[in-house]
Structure formats: structure tokens, C-alpha cells
């Protein structure tokens, strides 16, 4: 038998009496927790519960009846009871969603237990209802399952009841790449899906359309402006290839931003059309949990609507962090503002050493602007530090100034304008020095914060990392509240990359609604930093590999290379660099891939597939290269770091 429900009666057998299973021994606290597991079908049979049951605690019985009426499978449970856990596992194994009310964690749990006995005459939990029919305790539920009664009950009413119980099968909070991918994938399987997306304006008032950070203020405009800078370099190189032109070449910021924003606008419209075609409901509203399975949507006019859903997906992403010093929000911009800035930023101070900071500094300098980067500690934290330092050296050689180990303490406005003029006061990290400088624009790129603290997660019990705001999830992107999932940049310990969020969202929808089992693989994910000298990476950094496997078990092969296209202009010889990290104990399997050079993303994407398949150094050596291309260098790597051999190149 399970845990006791009936008041004042001994209902546990002697061998179970010592177990911490009885709800009566538990002190009730906080609101009820709920459980919901993935599903495709439903089931059950038993005695009907009617509203005619008489009880002095009528209100409590109505409350219980409401739970029963609302849910296809309702389990009155106890977190400490092993039989309650077993009955949940039974429904989970059947791929049937259930709702469980944990009586030992409910504020009025004791009174509910008494009312349950009066209503059901069941003396122990779990107490199971299917399609509003009382099945009973664990033994009765197991018996009904073996006899096929549960499945018959579910098949009788089909899936309609689940869909009628809530407004939607799935509500996605966040209309970025991951959220959109998940919503459209779920809709493909006939699910009723809603997407809530709302952009809180930046301190400078910038806002944007549907599509999230990547499309509007991230990857897309960044790569386009990076391309604009590369074209400027190509114009310079072209003279060496015989191109002749007399007029002075200059860049128009306004023309570039207009073209970029027009393209982004077409993407925003395309996403809305795509959602409509997939029959996904879209609302431009801020989503906030207000209770179990319930969310409040507030539009930009303050109008509130409330919706319920069987499941929720948090895909709210991150927003840029500010310094918390005088003048930062008043006078500084972030990457959220830069790509639609209506005027050329002029002399710019970039604060930060993240990939966002270095990418923006790189293309701004490539457009001919005076750029300084203020760095608190190291470049590209989390990336291979040898590669990061080579990027920094290259940027300095091309005119970008670095102020190292300083942080701003105050930003003051000297002149208004577009751009105006700002004074930045900064202090060294050891506190011994103060420096001042004047700039037209200060761009903050000091990190990003997860958008999780103001969406009501505390109201439904979703746990977050209090320091970072990130959400811990299982390997199936499930939070501690079983009906709430999360993907993308809000996840704790996962890569903050658009393609990762897209993959995780699609696979999650397939597991929830198509019976799939494949999970998102967060290992060996390729990425690229679009600095002037592009950096592609996949797998372990050298530091991490040495720490994990030990120096004696790691072999690093490396070489400089000189792109053929750069030989005629005679620039940047022995600046491009290739490196692979191999695990000696695993047949020299390639566990780290790093490249600095043109089109690094294209190069890395191809090799990452081979790395996923277990690429070894021998296989790489046996691969015939394409001549003359940059990626060819990886088929001829022969010098190890351990050997100290010369890796400088004199030609292609």
C-alpha cells in the first residue's frame, strides 16, 4: 500500500510504517508542485466521481474535483512515497502526460487529504484518475493497466481532452531562432502552438522585430558589417592586382546600415509569414508566468491576456550587461544599438574583450574609424588563449589600440550630437592608476545576462542559478518543473550559439510530439569569431585538453600559412595559423581544431563533421588536400609543439 490518507486510522502495514511515506509526517509548505511528462496518447478506466459526494469540506472537494476535471490523468501524490513515484513512472513509460499534486508540499495538504478520503474512500496515495474516472491506488492502477482498461479509456476519448484542457499544447516564450524553430516543428505534428515575443527597448530606445538577437542585433548584421570591412581591404588589395581608379574610396555608414536594416526587415516579415503558414499563433507580447500552466501576455500598450498550456518552452535569450557606473546607460550604447545606429559612431571606445567586443572593434576599424578596446583581463575568455592572443596582436598591428587591465568608472557627456563627445574615466584593475579619454561613442560589450528574472519563474517554481540567472536543465532540456522546458542562451553550462538553440528546439519538439528519442549533442560544436582575422574552432582548447588529459597524452600539431590571395598584396605573412590537438591515448583522435585565417567559418564547418565522426591524425594525413586553398594546411601538418620545430611559411 501507499501513504496514508484517512484521518486517524492506521493504514500502513507494519513493514512500511517506518518509511517516510506518510503525508501526515510531512509539514506542508509553499504551493503545489506539478509534474507533466511527454506524451502522445492517453488511457484508463474506473469509477466515476460525481459532484453529489457529500462532505462538510465542500470547497476542498470542489478544488479536488477541479483538478480531476482539468486533467486527463490526475495523480494525487506524495514526494516521499515510492509507490507514488512508481505510478508516475508507469504513465511515463506509456508516454502519457499526467498532472500530479504533491500533497506533502501543498499549503492545505492535510485538509485535502481528509477531503480526498471522504470523496474517494481511498486510504493511501497515490490516488489516480483517468478521464475523470477514479482508478485508485497503485495496485489498482497497475491492475487496470495490465487489463488494458487505462489504454481503452484514453483511446475512447482520444487526444481531444488534452487539447481542450488548455488553450495551447505548447507556448513558447521568446521569438528568437530557437523558439521559432521549436514552435514550427511542434506545429508540424498537429500541435496548437503560440509564440510570445517582446523586445524591451534598450536604454537608448532601440527595439526590433521578430527573430531574436541573431537576426536583429547579432550574427546577421555583424557578419554583414564584417563583410563591409573586408570589402574595404579588398579594394586596397585590388590595386596590386591591376585595378586602377582615381576617385578616393570612402565608406557611407548610413548607406550600409540602411541596407542591413532593410534585409533584416525582410527576415522579420518572413518569420511572421512562416508562423502563419505553419498555423502558429504569434503575439507581440511580454510573457510572464502567473501560476501553474498559466501565463500572462502584456502587449506594448499594457493590455493583458492570460493563456494556459500543457507545456511551455523558455527561449528568452540574453541581453547586454551594463557596467553599473555613472553614465553607462545614459551615454553608452551596446550591440543592441550599434547595428541600427543612424549616424557614424566616429572615434569609438569598445569596453570588453568578448567576441562581441572584438568583432565590433574589428569591423569598425575596418571601416576606417579610430577604435580603442579597453580590456579588464584576458581576451576571449573560454576560447583557446593562444588563438585569442594572436587575434589581439593582429588587431593591434592593424591600428586598433588596446588599454589593458582597466575598467571605466564614469562616463560623462562633453558635447551633445550625433555623435557627440564623451569623456571616459577608467581605473586600473589594481586600483593604482586612473586614465581619461575622449570618444564620440562608447560601446559596451562586457557580457550578457539571461532574460529569466522577470518572467515569473518563481511563481511556478522553476529553479535558476541565482548568480547568473541561467536555468539548469536535464539532458532533455527539461527544467525542475516537468512541464516547463528551456533552450538556447538561458541554459546553464551550454554553448550560447544560434545553431545550438535551433537544433535543441527542433529535437525537443520531436521528442515531445513525434516519439523521437534523439537529444541535442552539445559536444564538438563548431563556432567562428568574425574578427578581422577570423577564428574558427571545434572541440577542446589547448588549455582545457592539457588539463583534462595531461600533457603527456596530448600532441599538438601546428603551422602558420599564407593565403595565396594575400601574397600579391604582400600582407599578413605568417599571421594565419592552424592547430589541431590530438589525444595520444585514443589513436591520436582529433579533439581540438583551431584556425586563424580568411573564411575560417567555412573551413571549420567542414572539418567539424569529420571530428564528429572521430577523425584521427592518420585519417587527416591520408586526406588529399585541395590546392591552393587555406584548408589544405590541415592535411600536411607535421610539426608538433613538443618538437619545437619551425612552422613559419615563405610561400603557398
Write phi, then psi, for 632 (nearest 5 degrees). Answer: -55, -30
Region of 154 please: left (phi>0), alpha (psi -120 to 50) or beta: alpha
The pLDDT, as a whole number, for residue 71 is 83
- In this predicted structure, the answer to whether residue 248 has a pLDDT above a threshold of 60 is yes
Kindly report, residue by residue over 453-497, the tens digit of the pLDDT. 999 999 999 999 999 999 999 999 999 999 999 999 999 999 999
Are the CB atoms for 402 and 435 separated by under 8 Å? Answer: no
Percent of the chain clearing pLDDT 90 (strictly above): 77
Rounded to whole angstroms, the Cα distance separating 294 from 146 reads 35
Could you tell me the pLDDT band of residue 174, with boundaries at 50, 70 and 90?
Answer: very high
The pLDDT of residue 26 is 34
What pLDDT shows up at residue 430?
Answer: 96
- Mean pLDDT confidence for 184-207: 98
| Confidence check: pLDDT of 20 > 50 | no
pLDDT in tens, 383-411: 999 999 999 999 999 999 999 999 999 99
The pLDDT value recorded for residue 31 is 33
Residue 443: predicted pLDDT: 98
CB atoms near residue 259 (< 10 Å)? 13
Rounded to an integer, the average pLDDT of 108-125 is 85
| Whether residue 435 has pLDDT greater than 60 | yes
Spatial CA neighbour of 299 closest among 286, 289, 288, 316: 286
pLDDT value for 156: 64
pLDDT of residue 157: 53
Average pLDDT over residues 275-280: 97
Distances (CA, A) of 610 to 236, 542, 621, 627: 36, 19, 13, 20
pLDDT at 311 over 60: yes
pLDDT over 50 (residue 251):
yes
What gap in Å lies between CA 129 and CA 478, rounded to an integer?
25
Q: What are the b/e assignments for 153-177, b being 16+ CB within 10 Å?
A: bbeebebeebbebbbbbbbbbbbbb
8-state DSSP, 471? B
In this prediction, residues 197-202 reach a mean pLDDT of 98
Average pLDDT over residues 12-30: 36
Contacts of 481 (CB under 8 A, 6+ apart): 33, 34, 460, 461, 462
Residue 209 pLDDT: 97
The yes-or-no verdict on residue 504 having pLDDT over 70 is: yes
pLDDT at 56: 44
pLDDT score for 51: 36
Active site residues: 627
CA distance 398 to 346: 17
* pLDDT at residue 219 tops 80: yes
Task: Kindly state the DSSP code that residue 599 receives in the 8-state scheme.
Answer: T
User: Poorest-confidence range of 155-164, 183-192, 498-507, 592-601?
Assistant: 155-164
pLDDT at 2: 52
Percent of the chain at pLDDT > 70 equals 89
Is the pLDDT reported for residue 131 higher than 60? Answer: yes
Whether residue 48 is predicted with pLDDT greater than 50 in this model: the reply is no
Mean pLDDT of 439-456: 98
CB atoms < 10 A from the CB of 422, how many?
22
d(CA 55, CA 51) in angstroms, rounded, equals 10
- State the average pLDDT over residues 232-252: 94
Return the pLDDT at 122. 87
CB atoms closer than 10 angstroms to residue 458 = 11
Average pLDDT of every residue of the chain: 89
Q: What is the pTM (predicted TM-score) of this model?
A: 0.77
Average pLDDT over residues 547-559: 98
SS3 187: helix
Amino acid at each position: 500500500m501507499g501513504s496514508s490518507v484517512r484521518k486517524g486510522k492506521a493504514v500502513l502495514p507494519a513493514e512500511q510504517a517506518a518509511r517516510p511515506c506518510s503525508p501526515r509526517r510531512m509539514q506542508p509548505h509553499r504551493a503545489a508542485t506539478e509534474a507533466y511528462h511527454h506524451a502522445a496518447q492517453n488511457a484508463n478506466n474506473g469509477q466515476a466521481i460525481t459532484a453529489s459526494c457529500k462532505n462538510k469540506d465542500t470547497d476542498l472537494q470542489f478544488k479536488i474535483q477541479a483538478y480531476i476535471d482539468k486533467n486527463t490523468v490526475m495523480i494525487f501524490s506524495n514526494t516521499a512515497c515510492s509507490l507514488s513515484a512508481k505510478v508516475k513512472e508507469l504513465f511515463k513509460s506509456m508516454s502519457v502526460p499526467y498532472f500530479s499534486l504533491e500533497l506533502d508540499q501543498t499549503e492545505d495538504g492535510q485538509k485535502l487529504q481528509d477531503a480526498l478520503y471522504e470523496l474517494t474512500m481511498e486510504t493511501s496515495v497515490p490516488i489516480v484518475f483517468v478521464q475523470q474516472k477514479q482508478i485508485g491506488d497503485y495496485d489498482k492502477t497497475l491492475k487496470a493497466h495490465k487489463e488494458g482498461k487505462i489504454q481503452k479509456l484514453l483511446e475512447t476519448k482520444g487526444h481531444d481532452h488534452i487539447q481542450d484542457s488548455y488553450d495551447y499544447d505548447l507556448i513558447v516564450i521568446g521569438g528568437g531562432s530557437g523558439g521559432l524553430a521549436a514552435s514550427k516543428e511542434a506545429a508540424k505534428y498537429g500541435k496548437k502552438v503560440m509564440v510570445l515575443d517582446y523586445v524591451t527597448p534598450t536604454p537608448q530606445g532601440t527595439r526590433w522585430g521578430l527573430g531574436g538577437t541573431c537576426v536583429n542585433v547579432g550574427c546577421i548584421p555583424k557578419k554583414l558589417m564584417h563583410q563591409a570591412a573586408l570589402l574595404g581591404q579588398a579594394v586596397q588589395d585590388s590595386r596590386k592586382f591591376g585595378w586602377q581608379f582615381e576617385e578616393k574610396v570612402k565608406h557611407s555608414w548610413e548607406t550600409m546600415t540602411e541596407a542591413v536594416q532593410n534585409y533584416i526587415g525582410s527576415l522579420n516579415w518572413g518569420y511572421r509569414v512562416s508562423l502563419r503558414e505553419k498555423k502558429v499563433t504569434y503575439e507581440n507580447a511580454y510573457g510572464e508566468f502567473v501560476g501553474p500552466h498559466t501565463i500572462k501576455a502584456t502587449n506594448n500598450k499594457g493590455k493583458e491576456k492570460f493563456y494556459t498550456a500543457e507545456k511551455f518552452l523558455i527561449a528568452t535569450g540574453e541581453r547586454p550587461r551594463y557596467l553599473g557606473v555613472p553614465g553607462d546607460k545614459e551615454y553608452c550604447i551596446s550591440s543592441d544599438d550599434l547595428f541600427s545606429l543612424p549616424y557614424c559612431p566616429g572615434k569609438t571606445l569598445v569596453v570588453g574583450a568578448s567576441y562581441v567586443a572584438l568583432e565590433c572593434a574589428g569591423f569598425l576599424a575596418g571601416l576606417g574609424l579610430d577604435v580603442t578596446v579597453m580590456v579588464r583581463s584576458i581576451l576571449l575568455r573560454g576560447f583557446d588563449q593562444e588563438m585569442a592572443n594572436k587575434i589581439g596582436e593582429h588587431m593591434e598591428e592593424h591600428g586598433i589600440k588596446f588599454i589593458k587591465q582597466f575598467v571605466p568608472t564614469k562616463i560623462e557627456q562633453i558635447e551633445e550630437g550625433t555623435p557627440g563627445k564623451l569623456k571616459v574615466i577608467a581605473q586600473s584593475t589594481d586600483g593604482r592608476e586612473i586614465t581619461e579619454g575622449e570618444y564620440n561613442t562608447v560601446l559596451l560589450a562586457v557580457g550578457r545576462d539571461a532574460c529569466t528574472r522577470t518572467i515569473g519563474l518563481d511563481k511556478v517554481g522553476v529553479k535558476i542559478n541565482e548568480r547568473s540567472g541561467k536555468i539548469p536543465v536535464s539532458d532533455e532540456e527539461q527544467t525542475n518543473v516537468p512541464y516547463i522546458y528551456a533552450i538556447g542562451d538561458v541554459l546553464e553550462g551550454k554553448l550560447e550559439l544560434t545553431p545550438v538553440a535551433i537544433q535543441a528546439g527542433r529535437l525537443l519538439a520531436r521528442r515531445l510530439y513525434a516519439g523521437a528519442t534523439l537529444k541535442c549533442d552539445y559536444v564538438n560544436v563548431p563556432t567562428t569569431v568574425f574578427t578581422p582575422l577570423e577564428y574558427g574552432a571545434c572541440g577542446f582548447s589547448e588549455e582545457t585538453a592539457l588539463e583534462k588529459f595531461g600533457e603527456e597524452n596530448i600532441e599538438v600539431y601546428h603551422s602558420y600559412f599564407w593565403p595565396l590571395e594575400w601574397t600579391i598584396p604582400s600582407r599578413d605573412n605568417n599571421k594565419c595559423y592552424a592547430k589541431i590537438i590530438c589525444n595520444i591515448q585514443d589513436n591520436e583522435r582529433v579533439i581540438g581544431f583551431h584556425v586563424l585565417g580568411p573564411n575560417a567559418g567555412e573551413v571549420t564547418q567542414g572539418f567539424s563533421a569529420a571530428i564528429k565522426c572521430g577523425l584521427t591524425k592518420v585519417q587527416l594525413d591520408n586526406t588529399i588536400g585541395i590546392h591552393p586553398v587555406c584548408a589544405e594546411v590541415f592535411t600536411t601538418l607535421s610539426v608538433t609543439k613538443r618538437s619545437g620545430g619551425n612552422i613559419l611559411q615563405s610561400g603557398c
